[in-house]
Amino acid sequence: MSDLYPVTHLTQRGDALYLEEAALNDVARAFGTPVYVYSKAALQDAWSAWEYPENERQIHVCYAVKACSNLSILRLFAERGAFFDTVSEGEIARVLAVGVPANRIVFSGVAKSEREIEFALTQGIFCFNVESVPELQRIHAIASRLDKRAPISLRVNPDVDAKTHPYISTGLKANKFGISHTDALAVYQQAAQLSGLEIIGIDYHIGSQITELSPFLDAQNRLFDLVKQLADVGIVLKHIDLGGGLGVRYQDETPPLPSALIEQSLQGLREAGLTQDLMFEPGRSLVANACVLLTKVEYLKPTEEKNFCIVDAGMNDLLRPSLYEAWMGVENCTVRDANAAQTYDVVGPVCETSDWLARERTLAVAQGDVLAVLSAGAYGFSMASNYNTRARAAEVLVDGSEVCVIRRREVLSDLWALEL
């Protein structure tokens, strides 16, 4: 395995890029562009990195479906024993559609509707991660009406700085997520009075693309204190859910390994004298570096100010650069002479100035080349839209030298099929 690239199982052979045993130029020719190409081995490796040896307590890894929700990928993790973190009825239904038992599903999100709560309750999910007092009351009311008890956890906002982009930071007082640390004890006591609820856990999720351990550890310590205070008032929890957010390498980041996060968390639990089961909710770290987005160079356009490399994938296919100014690696699938390199902005076809994939990159590239946007597996296809009436890309899965379609490319008639 080469560590030239952050993407696992991506290698250069001769002048060509391969994902596992599949030449990326061949994949582009066979399936068209833009196309999301996932490596099965890379997904398996990413899952293995979260597996932790047998322990005195259970550790559940709960894949955050929103990072990449393709059924084939959900199934792959389901076969490895994954739990799933969902944020909508749609995501719950996806997970059920691959045959996962409902008692492996956690339901998060700030705006759970009555319909969604009733659906989740009827299915028998593992836990509602509750984000506000009115939500708690709504779940209690629906559960009482259905003569059920809803398993709940409160999402506590620990008020720590995840040191990540403001748009993907979720654990500060000013964020819409969770119940403030200050109010948590009182809200738990309130929940304990509601007969439609069964309190089983506590959770937090402080942000995404976190590349240091310290924000996790600060948040954990605050949470563990709270768990002890709860026990003192007779509220004994079964599990502690430490959320997702572990970062990955896009450029030169060196995020901690999942095993380091798990080890430190276990250490913290032991020091606090707590025996609860542990849960984590990784999304990005399971999928980001198992995928490239292939896109064809339509035109090279030199201007007075800049050189533009205009490609056939845009912000509708891959939103992260436009939305968060995210840096994503770009490589030519045909490796050309570096002496021919120039500085380009790689931009898409969408009619917005914010439609760019990469800025100020040194690339040796010719019209018609296929570029690979690296680390595209997380918040890539799952954020794609039909803006500009563009059909969404295909998704394919590489397994050795075999490549199979796991979501066909949309055809234009799909785009207006629902319109009257």
Ligand X SMILES: *Cc1c(COP(=O)(O)O)cnc(C)c1O
* Strand boundaries in 192-306, DSSP class E: 197-203, 239-241, 277-280, 291-302
Q: How far is the CB of 285 from ligand X (least distance, A)?
A: 6
284 lies in the binding site for ligand X (CB under 6 A): yes
How far, CA to CA in Å, does 102 sit from each of 95, 98, 127, 335? 8, 11, 10, 47
Structure tokens at 71: 């059924």
205 lies in the binding site for ligand X (CB under 6 A): yes
- Comparing CB distances to ligand X, the nearer of 85 and 355 is 85
Strands 197-203 and 10-13 come out as: unpaired
Among positions 67, 82, 194, 219, the unique one binding ligand X when judged by CB under 6 A: 67
- Comparing CB distances to ligand X, the nearer of 5 and 83 is 83
| Among 111-119, 279-287, 295-303, 329-337, the segment contacting ligand X (CB under 6 A) | 279-287
171 lies in the binding site for ligand X (CB under 6 A): no
244 lies in the binding site for ligand X (CB under 6 A): yes
| Among 111-119, 211-219, 282-290, 393-401, the segment contacting ligand X (CB under 6 A) | 282-290
By C-alpha distance, which of 75, 65, 35 is closest to 396? 35
Contacts with ligand X, 378-407, as mask; x by CB under 6 A: x-----------------------------
Q: Which of 68, 291, 351, 404 is catalytic?
A: 351
CA distance 20 to 38: 10
Q: Which residues sit opposite 129 in a β-bridge?
A: 153
- Spatial neighbors of 149 by CB under 8 A, at least 6 apart, are 143, 195, 196, 197, 198
**Residue nearest ligand X (C-beta atom):** 283
208 lies in the binding site for ligand X (CB under 6 A): yes
Contacts with ligand X, 79-98, as mask; x by CB under 6 A: ------x-------------
245 lies in the binding site for ligand X (CB under 6 A): yes
281 lies in the binding site for ligand X (CB under 6 A): yes
108 lies in the binding site for ligand X (CB under 6 A): yes
Which SS3 state, helix, strand or coil, does residue 264 take?
Answer: helix
Active site residue 68: no
Which position has the token pair 């403001």?
A: 166
| Among 93-101, 277-285, 332-340, 412-420, the segment contacting ligand X (CB under 6 A) | 277-285
- Spatial neighbors of 204 by CB under 8 A, at least 6 apart, are 155, 156, 157, 158, 171, 178, 219, 223, 241, 242, 243
Backbone torsions φ then ψ of 264, nearest 5 degrees: -65, -35
- Comparing CB distances to ligand X, the nearer of 7 and 346 is 7
By CB atoms closer than 10 A (0-12, 13-18, 19+), residue 420 is: exposed
CA distance 350 to 388: 7
- Comparing CB distances to ligand X, the nearer of 151 and 243 is 243
Residues found near ligand X in the complex (CB under 6 A): 64, 66-67, 85, 108, 205, 208, 243-246, 281-285, 378
**Which residues are part of the catalytic machinery?**
351
